[in-house]
């Protein structure tokens, strides 16, 4: 017995954790900080941590009522109908549900390059194919309607990422509306807002619902997650907000009880923990500014909880930083072998990361040409033959 032909598929490779690195190097885990996977430096919402402990004795029951309660709470937060909220096992789970609901065999999806490889992975799992549009390093990864529409060719799903990973750039609601307007009626524009809480832009929910001067649309959906600002990456909880036209499809494509009892309990507590989210967002803003002001190389403007840094030789710099106790993301897998991505940490963690990257650049005698920092120097575009993490 063999699986179907998976030769076009790739395995997802998550960022390396502290315990894994420490074991490999024979070191004490306490020597390391991890700023590689855009996790919350303050940990989970304290309210969610309490809810998880309190819910431990109830996990013998299926999460029917809590699933409904969390759906209602999210719907209330966005002022949408509960049927428009698709709970899932992380944002990538919601992405899979959209693929199931929309894609026919041999349909294509249009994805950003560089970008999150799971967009393409999900399409292929559902017998679709993948096409790319380029976000140019020379243009600071600006997301424009022109970049998307020039590459568009009747694709069934178009993915936008705001803020974009790994650059941190955003796309305006006007630009999203233009893309939706100028693509086919049967094209769904999916806006991934996994890092939306950190950005100074409005959610594309306004376009779905027809608010703030926009007309309501039935061809836009958004993805959101509790992993980042709420600090719940380990419980795997995300959701999509879809237009009314897609709402009924959820019952036909989701797995039974798409989010666990523990995840739903944690989400119900976290969604009202505004203090934790505000603290997390403020920390990210301070960390981004500190990195831009103090790293001895080019740092792109970012609206996420991370910063993209030009370092000339990402593999060498990331490896040496790891040896010095700071784990960062080598962006070679994004098609950016001259860049690393540093997650926004606490003040202490950010200062240590900046001190370390500057020392490594100096010790390795790496000089990043200012012009090459923005024009890419011939860096190839990303492909999903190499898979970046979240």
Question: Rounded distance, CA 97 to CA 95, Å?
Answer: 5
10 pLDDT more than 90 = no
Q: State in words which class domain 18-44+275-378 has.
A: alpha beta
Average pLDDT of the residues in 180-209: 97
Largest CA distance in the chain: 59
Give the strand pairing for 33-35 and 85-88: unpaired
Tokens for 252, please give them: 């036909």
| DSSP 8-state symbol, 250 | H
Q: What pTM was computed for the model?
A: 0.92
Nearest to 373 by CA among 303, 292, 306, 318: 292
371 pLDDT more than 60 = no
246 pLDDT more than 60 = yes
The pLDDT assigned to 182 comes to 98
Average pLDDT of the residues in 176-180: 98
Average pLDDT of the residues in 293-311: 97
The pLDDT assigned to 378 comes to 36
375 pLDDT more than 50 = no
- The percentage of the chain sitting over the pLDDT mark of 70, rounded to a whole number, equals 93
- The percentage of the chain sitting over the pLDDT mark of 90, rounded to a whole number, equals 83
What is 46-270's CATH topology?
A: 3.40.640
331 vs 366: which has the higher pLDDT? 331
The pLDDT assigned to 369 comes to 61
The pLDDT assigned to 5 comes to 77
The pLDDT assigned to 372 comes to 47
pLDDT bin (cut points 50, 70, 90) of residue 16 is: confident
> Using CA atoms in the order 164, 121, 148, 200, what is the torsion angle rounded to 10 degrees?
-20
Question: Rounded distance, CA 232 to CA 220, Å?
Answer: 26
**What's the pLDDT tens digit per position in 120-165?**
999 999 999 999 999 999 999 999 999 999 999 999 999 999 999 9
Average pLDDT of the residues in 286-296: 98
The pLDDT assigned to 368 comes to 74
The pLDDT assigned to 390 comes to 55
Question: Rounded distance, CA 354 to CA 367, Å?
Answer: 16
* Average pLDDT of the residues of the chain: 92
First-last CA distance in the chain = 33
pLDDT bin (cut points 50, 70, 90) of residue 387 is: very low
pLDDT bin (cut points 50, 70, 90) of residue 376 is: very low
Please state, in angstroms and as integers, the Cα–Cα distance from residue 276 to each residue in 49, 58, 104, 281, 307, following that order.
12, 26, 41, 9, 21
Please state, in angstroms and as integers, the Cα–Cα distance from residue 272 to each residue in 45, 177, 275, following that order.
10, 30, 9
The pLDDT assigned to 235 comes to 96
166 pLDDT more than 70 = yes
11 pLDDT more than 80 = no
Domain extent listing, the chain = 18-44+275-378, 46-270
Q: Which H or E run contains 223?
A: strand 220-225
């Amino acid at each position: 017995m063999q699986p179907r032909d998976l030769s076009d598929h790739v395995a997802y490779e998550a960022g390396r954790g502290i315990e894994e690195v420490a074991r490999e190097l024979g070191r004490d885990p306490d020597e390391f900080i991890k700023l590689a996977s855009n996790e919350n430096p303050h940990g989970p919402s304290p309210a969610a941590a309490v809810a998880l402990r309190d819910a431990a004795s109830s996990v013998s029951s299926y999460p029917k009522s809590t699933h409904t309660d969390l759906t209602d709470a999210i719907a209330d937060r966005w002022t949408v109908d509960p049927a428009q909220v698709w709970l899932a096992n992380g944002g990538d789970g919601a992405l899979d549900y959209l693929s199931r609901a929309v894609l026919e065999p041999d349909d294509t999806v249009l994805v950003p390059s560089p970008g999150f490889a799971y967009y393409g992975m999900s399409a292929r799992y559902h017998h679709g194919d993948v096409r790319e549009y380029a976000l140019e390093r020379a243009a600071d990864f600006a997301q424009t309607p022109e970049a998307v529409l020039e590459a568009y060719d009747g694709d069934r799903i178009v993915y936008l990422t705001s803020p974009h990973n790994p650059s941190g750039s955003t796309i305006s609601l006007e630009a999203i509306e233009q893309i939706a307007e100028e693509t086919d009626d049967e094209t769904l524009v999916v806006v991934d807002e996994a890092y939306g809480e950190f950005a100074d832009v409005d959610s594309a929910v306004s376009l779905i619902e027809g608010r703030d001067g926009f007309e309501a649309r039935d061809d836009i959906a958004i993805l959101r997650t509790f992993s980042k600002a709420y600090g719940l990456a380990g419980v795997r909880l995300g959701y999509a907000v879809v237009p009314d036209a897609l709402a009924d499809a959820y019952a036909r494509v989701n797995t039974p009880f798409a989010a666990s009892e523990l995840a739903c309990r944690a989400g119900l507590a976290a969604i009202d923990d505004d203090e934790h989210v505000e603290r997390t967002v403020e920390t990210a803003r301070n960390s981004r500014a500190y990195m831009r002001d103090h790293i001895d190389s080019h740092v792109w403007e970012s609206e996420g909880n991370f910063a993209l840094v030009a370092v000339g030789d990402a593999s060498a710099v990331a490896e040496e930083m790891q040896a010095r106790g700071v784990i960062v993301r080598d962006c070679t897998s994004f098609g950016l072998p001259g860049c690393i991505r540093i997650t926004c940490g606490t003040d202490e963690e950010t200062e240590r990361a900046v001190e370390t990257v500057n020392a490594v650049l100096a010790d390795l005698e790496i000089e990043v040409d200012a012009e090459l920092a923005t024009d890419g120097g011939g860096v190839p575009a990303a492909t999903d033959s190499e898979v970046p993490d979240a």
